[in-house]
């Protein structure tokens, strides 16, 4: 499952039209000659169902259940309008005359019963499941409240016992509000299970199997060890194997997270899911099915997801508390009033207690905060897929960044120019850009871009007769004289000596892991350029801001130690994990967690997916792979590491609002339930069922207004990086 690498003794790769050969002036054989192709200029050596948070969420997946709650909400809302309109209590409160026509009195009970059965079924079934599992939560609390309200209302409607416990309108609104809350919650929550589908989607459905009679298309399930397959240009490799014929630039970004293609030729290993970009390969299959690297990553993602899916939401804990509180209060209320000899009052008080404990506010306290916070985040380029990840972000004390494509640009950039005596930087860049102008290789584009920005328009040069020198570099004619850009292989081939003043500078570049290309014109070396994966300026700001908040920053990469250390020193990173194989990245996350840290992992490649899922909070760069995105709890739409600050700020703000709403939603119950039970009845203070219903509605308004205050939160990464 390790990323394929050219070994020290591999033949020197050559990429047609684009190779510059090895890219250092005097490379150690184990470090640079092994990466002889133009695509290796940068030193790169080295080694379903939502089960997440218990309680009321245990019953629901995100997509199908979200649609179910949406449909039931709208139908129940429509049915609740006449129920409320024909309620005597509502008519008295609002001061309008009740319509009087035959059958009018049966509208609330009939439609209320329909709402109870249709809209209340998810809560009743969910409550029963919680009861059977002995884990009371929101669903059981809601189920108890609507059942009591339903039974009491029918008793009143039928005139049994002379009770005045007409809760039809309250029953209808309670179910509508709870359906709305759950619908909002299902929309706000994310599911990481799609990561497995995204991984599977990387494999083609069929493969071109090579037979004695030519090639024939077969399902990949029919491939076996030892089979030979043809991988055409632009096609994905169907299974792990070894190249037996051909040479191609292979896009391994979905496995390695690295943006540049890697040269693969006879004898090299290729991995299922990677893409042969420019030419065809013939591959002998060495692993199929569960033995492939991709399948191994799949297993790690699934394992990591399972290990991080056992958290419980705040609302569930509050709901469990309220359930026991309401149940005990109800039993005590009935017992005390019965002992006082007033059974009718005992029934009324008990029903009032159980109904007032009905969690209108609690049912919206968390979903509203989630819905508004995720909306605010989305407008700031942050997609929250998992609300628990958002909650945990406030406790993170280590942010672990993947290097390539996250802290760095993920593409080559000229970071240094050195010239021999008598030659200027602009001249070297102008000559190198002229030679590279007809090449489409990323390194060539980097050199041309550097010249465009630094060389005056009047000093730019045009070359002719461009040709590649496979395994060595590229050449062209400038004013009839040959100019060459390449690495050590080019220097050796042309027997060119590098001036001492150039060597003195390039040695330092090589030491820090930069790639080096030399320019020769007229048979002598005029200078050299350094190319590196450029550090984002935003990365520097993000790390400084994280340090200011007391958060430790770590970096993980497959790059060689000297490359990683150079980037870490530049950015002020606290801890570096270098030369890490893809399958070991999640182990480094576990290592940090075992040291007592709460870890947020930020990455963009398939090789990051297990680590993203293993971390306490997985943050995927939006420009990364689908698998990385699906494995994460939070996705950054842009490649701006400062957005991590937005997640932290949002986490603190939303958690604060959750607690404020929960304190209100539970606190008013702690006060109102004893009053409903009649503890102050001797003093003439008591809450009637009507007043109880009004209090519940007011509490809902309070939490809704408080959640709206989140809209004022500034989540602009640029602003947060300055604070």
| Beta-strand relationship, 408-419 and 524-535 | antiparallel
Q: Is 287:274 a contact under the CB 8 Å cutoff?
A: no
Residue 538, C-beta contacts closer than 8 angstroms, at least 6 positions apart: 640, 641, 642, 717, 721
For residue 398, the surrounding DSSP H or E stretch is strand 398-402
Is 30 part of the annotated catalytic residue set?
no
CA–CA dist 640, 619 (Å, integer)? 12
DSSP-assigned beta bridge partners for residue 519 = 485, 527
Which CA distances in Å does 656 have to 373, 398, 468, 510, 650?
12, 21, 61, 50, 10
CA–CA dist 318, 136 (Å, integer)? 10
Angle at the Cα of 120 (from 115 to 121), degrees rounded to 5?
A: 120
Could you list the beta-strand ranges (E) of 659-707. none
Structure tokens at 716: 């602009």
CA–CA dist 577, 553 (Å, integer)? 11
Which CA distances in Å does 301 have to 53, 61, 202, 607, 628?
19, 19, 15, 10, 10
Could you list the beta-strand ranges (E) of 448-598. 464-469, 473-478, 481-486, 515-521, 524-535, 552-556, 575-577
CA trace torsion 581, 583, 585, 591 (10° rounding): -110
Number of helices and strands (H, E) in the chain? 25, 22
Structure tokens at 414: 């000229």
| Beta-strand relationship, 248-251 and 262-264 | antiparallel
Buried b (16+ CB within 10 A) or exposed e, 182-216: bbbbbbbbbbbbbbbebbeebbbeebbbbeeeeee
CA–CA dist 231, 300 (Å, integer)? 27
CA–CA dist 614, 698 (Å, integer)? 42
Q: Is 525:498 a contact under the CB 8 Å cutoff?
A: yes
Q: Is the dihedral of CA 187, 191, 196, 198 positive or negative?
A: positive
Structure tokens at 316: 């569930």
DSSP-assigned beta bridge partners for residue 250 = 262, 276
Alpha helices in 267-359 (DSSP H): 293-307, 314-339, 343-356
Q: Is 247:264 a contact under the CB 8 Å cutoff?
A: yes
Which CA distances in Å does 398 have to 314, 435, 648?
23, 46, 12
Catalytic residue among 240, 268, 402, 604: 402
Structure tokens at 133: 């599992």
Q: Which residues are catalytic?
A: 402
């Amino acid at each position: 499952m390790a990323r394929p690498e050219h070994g020290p003794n591999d033949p020197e790769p050559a990429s047609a039209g684009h190779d510059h050969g090895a890219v250092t002036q005097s490379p150690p054989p184990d470090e640079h000659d092994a990466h002889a192709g133009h695509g290796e200029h940068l030193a790169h050596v080295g080694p379903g169902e939502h089960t997440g948070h218990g309680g009321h969420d245990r019953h629901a997946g995100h997509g199908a259940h979200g649609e179910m709650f949406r449909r039931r909400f709208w139908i129940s809302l429509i049915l609740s309008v006449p129920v409320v309109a024909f309620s005597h209590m509502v008519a008295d409160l609002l001061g309008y005359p009740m319509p009087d026509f035959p059958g009018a009195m049966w509208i609330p009970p009939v439609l209320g019963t329909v709402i109870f059965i249709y809209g209340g079924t998810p809560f009743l079934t969910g409550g029963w499941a919680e009861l059977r599992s002995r884990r009371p939560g929101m669903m059981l609390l809601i189920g108890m409240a609507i059942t009591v309200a339903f039974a009491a209302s029918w008793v009143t409607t039928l005139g049994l016992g002379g009770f005045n416990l007409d809760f039809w309108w309250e029953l209808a609104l309670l179910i509508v509000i709870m359906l709305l809350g759950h619908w909002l919650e299902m929309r706000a929550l994310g599911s990481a299970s799609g990561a497995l589908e995204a991984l599977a989607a990387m494999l083609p459905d069929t493969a071109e199997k090579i037979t004695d009679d030519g090639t024939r298309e077969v399902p990949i399930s029919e491939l076996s060890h030892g089979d030979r397959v043809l991988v055409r240009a632009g096609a994905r490799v169907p299974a792990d194997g070894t190249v037996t014929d051909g040479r191609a630039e292979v896009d391994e970004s979905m496995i390695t997270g690295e943006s540049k293609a890697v040269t693969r030729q006879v004898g090299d290993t290729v991995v299922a899911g990677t893409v042969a970009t420019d030419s065809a390969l013939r591959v002998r299959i060495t692993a199929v099915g569960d033995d492939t690297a991709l399948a191994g990553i799949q297993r790690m993602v699934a394992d990591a997801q399972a290990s991080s899916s056992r958290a419980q939401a705040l609302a569930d804990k509050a709901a469990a508390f309220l359930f026991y509180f309401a149940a005990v209060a109800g039993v005590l209320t009935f017992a005390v009033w019965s002992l006082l000899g007033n059974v009718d009052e005992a029934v009324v008080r008990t029903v009032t207690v159980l109904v007032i404990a009905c969690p209108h506010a609690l049912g919206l306290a968390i979903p509203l905060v989630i819905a508004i916070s995720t909306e605010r985040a989305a407008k700031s380029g942050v997609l929250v897929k998992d609300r628990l990840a958002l909650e945990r972000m406030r406790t993170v004390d280590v942010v672990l960044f993947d290097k390539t494509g996250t802290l760095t640009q993920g593409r080559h950039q000229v970071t240094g120019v050195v010239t021999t005596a008598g030659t200027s930087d602009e001249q070297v860049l102008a000559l190198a850009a002229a030679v590279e102008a007809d090449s489409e290789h990323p390194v060539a584009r980097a050199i041309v871009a550097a010249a465009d920005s630094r060389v005056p328009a009047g000093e730019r040069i045009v070359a002719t007769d461009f040709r590649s020198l496979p395994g060595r570099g590229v050449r062209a004619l400038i004013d009839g004289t040959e100019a060459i850009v390449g690495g050590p292989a080019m220097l050796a081939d042309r027997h060119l000596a590098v001036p001492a003043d150039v060597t003195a500078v390039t040695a330092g570049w090589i030491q820090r892991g930069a790639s080096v290309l030399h320019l020769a014109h007229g048979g002598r070396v005029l200078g050299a350029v350094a190319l590196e994966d450029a550090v984002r300026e935003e990365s520097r700001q993000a790390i400084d801001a994280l340090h200011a908040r007391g958060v430790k920053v770590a970096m993980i990469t497959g790059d060689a130690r000297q490359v990683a250390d150079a980037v870490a020193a530049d950015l002020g990173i606290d801890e570096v994990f270098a030369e890490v194989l893809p399958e070991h990245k999640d182990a480094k996350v576990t290592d940090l967690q075992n040291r007592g840290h709460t870890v947020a992992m930020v990455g963009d490649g398939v090789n990051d997916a297990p680590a993203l899922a293993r971390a306490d909070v997985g943050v995927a760069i939006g420009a990364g792979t689908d698998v990385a995105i699906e494995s994460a709890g939070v996705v950054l739409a842009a490649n701006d590491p400062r957005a991590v600050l937005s997640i932290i700020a949002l986490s603190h703000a939303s958690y604060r609002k959750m607690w404020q709403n929960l304190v209100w939603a539970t606190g008013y119950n702690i006060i109102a339930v004893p009053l409903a039970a009649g503890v102050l009845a001797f003093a003439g203070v008591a809450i009637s069922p009507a007043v109880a219903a009004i209090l519940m509605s007011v509490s809902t308004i309070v939490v809704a207004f408080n959640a709206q205050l989140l809209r004022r939160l500034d989540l602009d990464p640029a602003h947060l990086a300055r604070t």
